[in-house]
Structure 1
Amino acid sequence: MSGAPLRVVLLGPVPYAEALRVQERCVAAARAARSPTPAPGGPAVRGGPRAVPAESVVLSEPAHPVYTWGLRGAPDAAAAATLRARGAGLVAARRGGHITFHGPGQLLAFPVLDLRRRRLPVRGYVAGLEALVLRLCRRLGLGAARALPPPFTGIWMGDSKLCAIGVHCGNYITSHGLALNCCTDLTWFDHIIPCGLEGKGVTSLSRELGQHITVDHVLEPFLDSFQEVFDCALVFSDDPAD
């Protein structure tokens, strides 16, 4: 896999649902890249006249506050009504994990990788996501950041989660990924039990570093870390079909 190209789709601030739609297009492209012939109207396969990298990572910043939950259960009707009343959207997501928050000031990364090609088990992939965020934290001067064993998936500063991880893998193709709090308004987490973990807090890069750290600020070191951990060459694209 050394130096294999990987497409980076930078969306900037967009609604969470838009990031999901782009992710699904990347998943379709990754599946098509396995086929000897492309589906009618689909993206070209690797090696064809419009060949594109088989793997992608979709990066975005949620433009509006939204609560999402994974396969372990949605909020009940009363809780959902309370969250909506606070001005947040509610979205079910096909990933592991409980309810969490996504909003402005947060980096969302949805890697679309082929774990079969990489000979990588799902647990090894999650460990890779943790490793890349730890590398990012070291680059920013957060040497105390750490990964913990399940069920405490993600990256932590003490008892507070800095980065949440929740993935889906279908036919060896990954989707969803991680949410890194940069300058997120952490009060949105006060209305839920983040990731279903009682007694744990949530933090951000801005809080830990004592300065305003935006999503744009971390994109370059994040991609440097991604490239190192997943051994790939980055190709930038505005559209997953390019």
Structure 2
Amino acid sequence: MLQPAVRLVWLSQVPYAELLALQQRWLRRLQAEPGTEAGALLLCEPAGPVYTTGLRGGLTSEETARLRALGAEVLPLGRGGLATFHGPGQLLCHPILDLRPLGLRLRTHVAALEACAVRLCELQGLPGARARPPPYTGVWFGERKICAIGVRCGRHVTSHGLALNCSTDLTWFEHIVPCGLVGTGVTSLSEELQRHVTVDEVIPRFLEAFKETYKCTLTSEDSSS
């Protein structure tokens, strides 16, 4: 059986707003012609610090002002979840997918993203990563989260996705309660492996995990498309 083809778009290190703009173009493309293609996998490393909030909010106006005073952007998004941080040293993966050609539902899409991150950690030599039962999302080492997940789905088309800490400066997370989870912490591949792990290093293994998990092929597309 022929596997669905997903377009791979690697943006390198870019402002977070550039990722959001490309996401919107792909959303319009898939929603204009539903069922004609599986979609795109958008990957980037944020060029600067950004705090984002989901549909459930998570920041007061005073907190927003305090975070902006640190030199970070603060952006409300239409994804699930609460507040989290994105910045240099983090792999952002936004699969803009029509779930129907892939034979997926929203819950299985979220589980597949978790499985991708777990598999990547295994390929990097970290077999202890795991997903946790609902209502938790993401991937964890013990009580510390290494990968946050927040998605949106409308008319069977997904947006947003996961943020995997590779060599992220974890002190940025100290200014919020990440994802609204009290009593838990964050970690990174660099922290767990005790060496500097770049986003560029993990991308080939992440793509391997994505193809395995989603049972698809990946074809390259220029980021300007």
TM-score (norm 1): 0.89
CA separation of 1:233/1:27 partners in 2, compared to 1, >3 Å: closer, same or farther? same
* Partner SS for 2:197: coil
* C-alpha contact 2:102 2:214 (8 A) present in aligned 1: no
Greater Cα offset, 117-126 or 140-149: 117-126
Match of 2:131 among 144, 147, 162: 147
Deviations 1:67-105 (A, max 9, x none): 000000141111111101111001111100000000000
Give the structure 2 partner of residue 126 of structure 1: 110
Give the structure 2 partner of residue 198 of structure 1: 182
Unaligned runs of 5+ in 1: 36-45, 47-52
Sequence identity of aligned pairs in percent? 54
Give the structure 2 partner of residue 135 of structure 1: 119
* Partner SS for 1:161: strand
> Partners of 1:239 and 1:215 in 2: how far apart?
18
> Partners of 1:10 and 1:219 in 2: how far apart?
10
Structural RMSD (CA): 1.4
Q: Who wins on radius of gyration, i.e. which is larger?
A: 1
* Partner SS for 1:163: strand
* Stretches (4+) displaced over 4 A: none
* Partner SS for 1:120: coil
Deviations 1:164-222 (A, max 9, x none): 00000010000000000000000000000000000000000000011100000000000
Match of 1:162 among 129, 134, 146: 146
Unaligned runs of 5+ in 2: none
Deviation, 1:120, is 1.8
Paired residues, what number?
Answer: 225
Deviation, 1:116, is 2.6
Within a 5 Å distance, the mapping from 1:166-185 to structure 2 comes to 166-185=150-169
Deviation, 1:34, is 2.3
> Partners of 2:64 and 2:32 in 1: how far apart?
37
> Partners of 1:165 and 1:218 in 2: how far apart?
18
Match of 1:97 among 59, 81, 84: 81
